[in-house]
Structure 1
Amino acid sequence: MEQAPVLLLWVAALSRSNTIAKQAGGNAEIHDYLATVDATLAAQNAAIAAESMGLGFVYIGAMRNQSREIEELIGLPDYSYVTFGMVVGKPDLSHLSAIRPRPNQKVVLHYNNYDTVNSLEALDTYEESFQQFRKEQKMKDKKWKKDVAYTANSLDYMHERQNLRITVEEKGFKLK
């Protein structure tokens, strides 16, 4: 992030609409619900545009880890919050990155009914490709299922993200 020429912050911003609705005598109760999808769709379009211009990008979910500090730094009004960040720049072609393999379709694609049993069984083959990728990339040894368990069971992994709800509520959202 520190070396990237551009850091974009994708903000779910209902502040303007909230002000207008309240000035018109309403209570803007619809704004008690989050608006993350709009910011996400805009970011995806920006990602496609960046790629079309030969640029690279990385989504930065860690922006939620210091949500209060970031909103104070950029002066976000009420009814607005940073959903995530994105760094954009020219890829260093001497250090091409590899794409980590994803679980196969038996894990993620379901027909008519969500098949939890077969989905979990199909994950056994993913551990192998995950390990091979990490080895090829000279990354430390890590087991995928063990890491998933750790990230779901330790607040240390959150790096303050557990406070995001408090920050968002302080910005006016009631999170109904």
Structure 2
Amino acid sequence: MTEGTTATDGADTLTRLEQEGDIAADYLEGLLDIADLDGDIDMDVEGDRAAVSIISDSTSRDLQKLVGRDGEVLEALQELTRLAVHRETGDRSRLMLDIAGFRARKREELAELGARAAEEAKGSGEPVKLNPMTPFERKVVHDAVAAAGLRSESEGEEPQRCVVVLPV
């Protein structure tokens, strides 16, 4: 525990995050019913945020409709789900939503991109500027660059904000 944090604080936070997950799951179940889509809801707590996933056993591409092109629909659904949680709790939610494993796959791809960019910056001695990304994508790349022992920063304005990997 960190200074000033008690076991009770940690338990309260966990309970709050589990509540966020429950509210989100109920909201998403209703959405799936309205859209007549099959999917199971999986809830977890990852670090300091609730994580909710919609998964399906079927090989149908139904859930891909909820991901959309480059995850655009997924991002919108995540924001709507966060708003539903906020409406119920009165607190801002940092909940993460994944559908059909899209974010998990994207996280792996972005971690590899960050590692490659770090190697390129080390080798060339020049900053490496990546294409514009969402906040989620930038966070994954920043973490991968830090794991490679380099620094990175974000520059630009949304939606054109991008990561720049800095050489040693």
User: Would you call these one fold, judging by a TM-score over 0.5?
Assistant: no
Please state which structure has a larger fraction of its residues in strand: 2
Higher relative contact order (CA 8 A, sep 6+): 1
TM-score (normalizing by structure 1): 0.27
TM-score (normalizing by structure 2): 0.28
